[in-house]
């Protein structure tokens, strides 16, 4: 059996950021032991499956204590077979990480850390509801390097309320000065259940487009490859787990709100912590939605997801029969280009991709909450889109 990816959702956090509409819940830290027990029970169904990527997302996975993280990793190792070269990523908020936790991650095989910085200006961090400072990020980033981590990502956001073009360029320059191996940059998206939406914040599409162009221009000559709409990496440091999503490969999801793709079906767990734990403890499935993909749906997804990537895809005869007129339309508009026998996105296509992607794929309700342009406003992820 081919190896697959595993996404594990940790829904706990100290505060919920004003832009976040993921399953992240402050005030439930006392439920962590019970939640870990439920996770342990849920993954038993996957015993013996081989995984080559592992991703801890949230919420704030780094809110787990070293003891709690050891427990979780021991459970995963007891159920799954891990390949010798597996990639294990964890999302971390700077204020929740110290030298002890970094050592715990390293000893447990974590080899990739994604730090949620977002911006470098203190006033903007406060406006987002973040609890850390840029100085805290710099300190923990240095600690991670000293602990032996050689694959470090930093997440940034642009198009924020009160964020100027100069602020954005400063955030980019100060972040690049730290020499991360990978950088993810997401445009602010105003989702229905967020504090920003409730307070009437609106995004400026034109400003976001200008900031995206600044992003691409700034990183163009810095040794990074712009390998996906919102992601840049030094050679060999592309996120293998997220590439599984973008290449429509099998990935399992465990925990609250986790979604996965397995044997032609997409499944998503409940977003409610108590409902999730109650279901698993009673021996019931926490899955609340399932979508079995038709061949046409799958091919449309394959095409849409591949066009998130710089490398694009080879257009099959079936793909051409189903979507040839749409492909030709966007080739004529300059959104797409042919490189040899591969159909690839242009920078213009990435900048204006929502319209194009919607024509290749009308997402079922299970995924409609996600801006398929990648402007999800929260860390690296197509992970919750799939």
Sign of CA dihedral 205, 211, 213, 215: negative
pLDDT score, position 18: 84
Q: How far apart are CA 79 and CA 52, in angstroms?
A: 14
Sign of CA dihedral 51, 53, 58, 60: positive
Q: Are 63 and 96 in contact (CB under 8 A)?
A: yes
pLDDT score, position 385: 38
pLDDT score, position 366: 36
Q: If you count them, how many residues does the chain have?
A: 386
Q: Are 204 and 159 in contact (CB under 8 A)?
A: yes
pTM: 0.91
Sign of CA dihedral 375, 194, 252, 294: negative
pLDDT score, position 370: 32
Residues in CB range of 266: below 8 A, 6 or more apart? 259, 260, 290, 291, 293, 364, 366, 367, 386
Burial class (CB in 10 A: 0-12, 13-18, 19+), 375: buried
Tokens standing for residue 62: 């780094």
pLDDT score, position 362: 52
Q: How far apart are CA 328 and CA 322, in angstroms?
A: 12
pLDDT score, position 355: 80
Which residue's structure tokens are 């979507």? Answer: 323
Q: How far apart are CA 196 and CA 191, in angstroms?
A: 8
Sign of CA dihedral 224, 228, 229, 231: negative
Strand partners, 82: 51
Alpha helices for 99-164 (secondary structure H): 99-107, 122-128, 134-146
Q: How far apart are CA 158 and CA 289, in angstroms?
A: 32
- pLDDT by residue, tens only, the chain of 386 residues: 589 999 999 999 999 898 888 988 998 999 999 999 999 999 999 999 999 999 999 999 999 999 999 999 999 999 999 999 999 999 999 999 999 999 999 999 999 999 999 999 999 999 999 999 999 999 999 999 999 999 999 999 999 999 999 999 999 999 999 999 999 999 999 888 899 899 999 999 999 999 999 999 999 889 899 999 999 999 999 999 999 999 999 999 999 999 999 888 999 999 999 999 999 999 999 999 999 988 888 888 899 999 999 999 999 999 999 999 999 999 999 999 999 889 999 999 998 888 888 887 654 333 333 333 333 323 333 333 33
Which residue's structure tokens are 């964890």? Answer: 90
Cis, bond preceding 59 (omega within 30 deg of 0): yes
Which residue's structure tokens are 């849920």? Answer: 42
Q: How far apart are CA 141 and CA 154, in angstroms?
A: 9
Q: How far apart are CA 137 and CA 141, in angstroms?
A: 6
Q: Are 9 and 253 in contact (CB under 8 A)?
A: yes
pLDDT score, position 363: 42
């Amino acid at each position: 059996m081919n190896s697959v990816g595993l996404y594990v959702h940790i829904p706990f956090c100290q505060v919920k950021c004003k832009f976040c509409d993921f399953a992240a819940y402050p005030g439930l830290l006392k439920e962590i032991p019970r939640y870990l027990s439920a996770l342990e029970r849920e993954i038993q169904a996957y015993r013996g499956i081989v995984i080559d990527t592992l991703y801890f997302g949230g919420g704030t996975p780094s809110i787990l204590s070293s003891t709690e993280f050891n427990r979780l990793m021991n459970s995963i190792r007891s159920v799954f077979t891990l390949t010798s070269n597996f990639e294990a990523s964890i999302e971390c908020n700077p204020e929740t990480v110290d030298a002890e936790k970094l050592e715990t991650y390293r000893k447990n095989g974590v080899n990739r850390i994604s730090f949620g910085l977002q911006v470098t200006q203190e006033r903007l961090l406060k406006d987002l509801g973040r609890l850390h400072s840029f100085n805290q990020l710099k300190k923990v980033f240095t600690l991670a390097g000293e602990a032996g981590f050689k694959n470090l990502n930093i997440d940034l956001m642009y198009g924020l309320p009160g964020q100027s073009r100069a602020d954005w360029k400063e955030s980019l320059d100060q972040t690049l000065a730290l020499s991360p191996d990978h950088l993810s940059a997401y445009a602010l998206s105003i989702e229905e259940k967020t504090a920003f939406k409730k307070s009437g914040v609106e995004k400026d599409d034109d400003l976001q487009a200008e900031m995206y162009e600044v992003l691409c221009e700034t990183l163009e000559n810095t040794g990074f490859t712009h390998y996906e709409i919102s992601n840049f990496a030094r050679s060999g440091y592309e996120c293998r787990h997220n590439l599984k999503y973008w290449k429509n490969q099998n990935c399992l999801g465990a925990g609250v709100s986790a979604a996965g793709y397995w044997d032609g079906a997409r499944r998503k767990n409940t977003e409610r912590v108590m409902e999730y734990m109650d279901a698993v403890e009673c021996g019931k499935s926490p899955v609340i939605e399932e979508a079995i993909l038709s061949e046409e749906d799958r091919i449309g997804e394959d095409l849409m997801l591949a066009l998130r990537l710089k490398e694009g895809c080879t257009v099959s005869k079936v793909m051409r029969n189903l979507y040839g007129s749409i492909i030709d339309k966007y080739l004529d508009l300059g959104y797409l280009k042919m490189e040899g026998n591969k159909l690839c996105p242009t920078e213009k296509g990435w900048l204006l991709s929502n319209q194009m992607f919607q024509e290749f794929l009308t997402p079922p309700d299970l995924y409609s909450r996600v801006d398929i342009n990648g402007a999800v406003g929260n860390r690296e992820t197509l992970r919750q889109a799939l």
